[in-house]
Structure 1
Amino acid sequence: MLRPSLSARLSELAHEYDLTLRQLADPQVLADSSQLIKLTRRQRELEPITSLYAEDLALERSEAQARELLADPEMRELAEAELRESRARRSAVADELEVLLLPTDPDDAKDVILEIRAGAGGDEAGLFAADLLRLYERYLSERGFKLSILDESTSSLGGFSKVMAEVSGSYAYRTLKFERGVHRVQRIPTTETQGRIHTSTVTVAVLPVAEPSDVQLDLSDVRIDVYRSQGAGGQSVNTTDSAVRAVYKGGTPDEIMVVCQETRSQIKNREKALDVLRTRLAERERETFEASRSESRAAQVGSGDRSEKVRTYNYPQNRVTDHRLSGEDKNFALDSVMNGSLGGVLDALTRLEREALLASMTDGAA
């Protein structure tokens, strides 16, 4: 049985779902791409919830009919069996709906700007940055996401000092948000002649792509530079000056610089650079807001700050350890993970998040 408060909320969401479907059939909405994207995302979010709610209402009607049959001696046994099955299913549906109605991140459905930077460890950190990029490419490709490199700076041994990519697809941010933070690797570098294990770090930032309505960007504050794209080793990638550098409030403490050389089109690179600039500004505003709410350093670290070490990749022991998990649930086979099998790690982190949300809701209701 659904709690009364839950039933009322589900009724509201069912009404919103019907309204969303009607809006999606409106020719004016179909002609407005931004509104169409928002409504389509909302329809996808509401569909599993309203489907389960409709099932619960159907089961409730079946129970009412079964109770009427209890007075008939010939139908009583059949009616009792139907009631038992219906009540068990309604209990399961209620549990599923409780999870689906947990508070969600409003950025979950957005595309992502993924930034990977080599940290401590020199060339070895750069090589591991390249390994992480390959890991994400394999994992995302198998799930139908598109990863496009926007900018990269290669290191001397073929790794990356930094690489920036856009990940697009349904719920890209929800898929990758647990990757943000410091990733530590322990292994023997290819340049190590004495077989010693070195520890290096790579930082990963996962930024939800900001929509124009999310942040106000005054183009008078932006300087656009155009130049010839450069690839690995410094060679020219394009025959035209198509790479774009967008500098926000250059020369001030608020300066943000974005480089994009994804395509041969200067116009497209300019649009993408401005998109990334909006995303960086939105992230800056978000960090400022979260910092103002934090009462202590501990609260900031616990919120998933990028300075927090999230995972260790131990090559000699063929083990990946995610430090946000506990017990043996925190350890995974390294060779499998590095080949793109990241799903087990992310599923465990998703369960942990849901358990924490459920616990907070229970504490709040107590």
Structure 2
Amino acid sequence: MFDRLDDILVRFEEIMEELNNPYVVEDQTKFRRLMKEQTDLAPIVEAYKEYKGARQDAEDSLAMLESENDEEMREMLKEELASAKERIEELEKELKILLLPKDPNDDKNVIVEIRAGAGGDEAALFSAELYRMYSRFAERNRWKVEMISVNESGIGGMKEVIFMISGHGAYSKLKYESGVHRVQRVPATESGGRIHTSTSTVAIMPEAEEVDVQIDMNDCKFDVFRASGNGGQCVNTTDSAVRLTHIPTGIVISCQDEKSQLKNKDKALKVLRSRLYDLELAKKQNAEAEERRSQIGTGDRSEKIRTYNFPQGRVTEHRIKLTLYKIDSIMDGDLYEIIDSLIAADQAAKLSSLQEI
């Protein structure tokens, strides 16, 4: 590990030298690539330098302790040595996590698909609340939310909603949200006061660039139709909505949020590209079965991952057996404790897997 850290330190210093070269600044492509590499390496370099400083502090305290006779000074040096050793252990753990292979999609924007499952109108209402929850989480992180497509129910619910969240690290935070979300509560339509259980399915996909997925337009069939629903003055009067069918996979995407047919077509292609990319990721993860078992579930849409119990005010994350009694703040987008716990559990599983090899 330390040989690798020394190599990273050398590489970081090389990058800093290159960035100070005026010829590199003139080459914007190379400059951006170096800046990204520097940003990726900076946390590792900072932690490693602190680690080396802590090691030096421990060695200095130990050397002084061996030659010191004054009891009061010895006690002080022992405390400094214990503190340095504790910090060394903490930094070793931190460095192991920082050196874990990084998911190449972590910095990407995400396309989120929420679909009502079992529960009829109540499931559609819950899907709308999940949409608001993720929108609020995006706001807290200063990310942008862009609607792509929505199929609303008559009572304010959403049978299906597709939207994009754009922002640095969006996928790294939200990738653990894929799966079945279950809600337990008394629906507004229930007169007898009985608790119902409904579900919604969430799919989180990294936004795929054209370089990630090449789409053969001969494999795509486009149909245009008149949009329906609350879309503004022009939406319902022109054939602006687009239905895209990808013939090889049978994937069908409808977009009608924009007034422009061309913009709806672009959005539909964006969703298709991400879905095809997501399918390739799933194939790769299934092929790497051993690695897949060592990670927190990310992408199995049949997996029940979380329960929102409104009468008890609790949210239970089943994959890591975490229960929080703050359902109101979670539904308002305060997902940090859940997401941070999932990331920590995933990192611990990966570290454990590496140690077994």
TM over 0.5: yes
C-alpha contact 1:121 1:201 (8 A) present in aligned 2: yes
The Cα of 1:98 is off from its aligned counterpart by 1.6
Same amino acid, percent of matched pairs: 42
Residue 335 of structure 1 corresponds to which residue in structure 2? 328
Alignment of 1:49-60 (within 5 A): 49-59=44-54
| Residue in structure 2 matched with residue 170 of structure 1 by the alignment | 168
**Residue 39 to residue 229, structure 1, CA distance change in 2 (3 Å):** farther
**Structure 1 partner of 2:353:** 360
- Give the aligned partner of residue 284 of structure 1: 279
Counting only pairs closer than 5 Å after superposition, residues 289-308 of structure 1 correspond to structure 2 as 289-292=284-287, 305-308=300-303
Once the two structures are superposed, residues 70-112 of structure 1 have per-residue CA deviations (whole angstroms, 9 ceiling, x without a partner) of 8987999698876665444333322221222223322222110
| C-alpha distance in 2 between matches for 1:270 and 1:152 | 15
Count of equivalent residues:
349
SS in structure 2 opposite 1:311?
strand
Output the CA distance in 2 between the equivalents of 1:189 and 1:81: 59
Determine helix, strand or coil for the equivalent of 1:246.
strand
Pick aligned residue for 1:223 from 221, 224, 231: 221
1:325 equivalenced with 2:323 (yes/no): no
1:23/1:284 CA distance change after superposition, 3 Å: farther
Provide Cα deviations, 1:47-72, integer angstroms capped at 9, x if missing partner: 11111122334455666777887898
Instruction: Measure the CA separation in 2 of the matches of 1:238 and 1:188.
Output: 36
**1:109 aligned onto 2:120:** no
Q: Deviation string for 1:117-170 (max 9, x for gaps)?
A: 001111111000001111111122112121111111101211111000111111
Report which stretch shifted further, 93-102 or 156-165: 93-102
Which consecutive residues of structure 1, in runs of 5 or more, have no partner in the other structure? 1-5
Structure 1 pair 214/263, CA: closer, same or farther in 2 (3 Å)?
same
Residues in 2 aligned to 1:344 and 1:172: alpha-carbon distance in whole angstroms: 16
Per the alignment, residue 127 of structure 2 pairs with: 129
**Corresponding position of 1:94:** 92
Which amino acid in structure 2 is aligned with residue 175 of structure 1? K
**Residues 1:272 and 2:267 aligned together:** yes
Q: Sort the Cα spacing of 1:267 and 1:62 in 2 relative to 1 into closer, same or farther, 3 A.
A: farther
Instruction: Return the alpha-carbon distance in structure 1 between the equivalents of residues 286 and 67 of structure 2.
Output: 66
TM-score by length of 2: 0.82
Gaps of 5+ in 2: none
Paired residues of 1:117 and 1:129 also in contact (CA < 8 A): yes
State the match for 1:151 in structure 2.
Answer: 149
Instruction: State the distance in 1 between where 2:26 and 2:210 align.
Output: 20
Return 39-48 or 309-318, whichever deviates more: 39-48
8 Å contact 2:175–2:298 — kept in the other structure?
no
Contact 2:315–2:324 under 8 Å retained in 1: yes
Letter in 2 for 1:308: E
- 1:324 Cα deviation after fit: 1.0
Q: Which residue of 2 aligns with 1:3?
A: none
1:316, distance to aligned residue in structure 2 (A): 1.7
Partner of residue 346 from structure 1, selected from 335, 339, 342: 339
TM-score (norm 1): 0.80
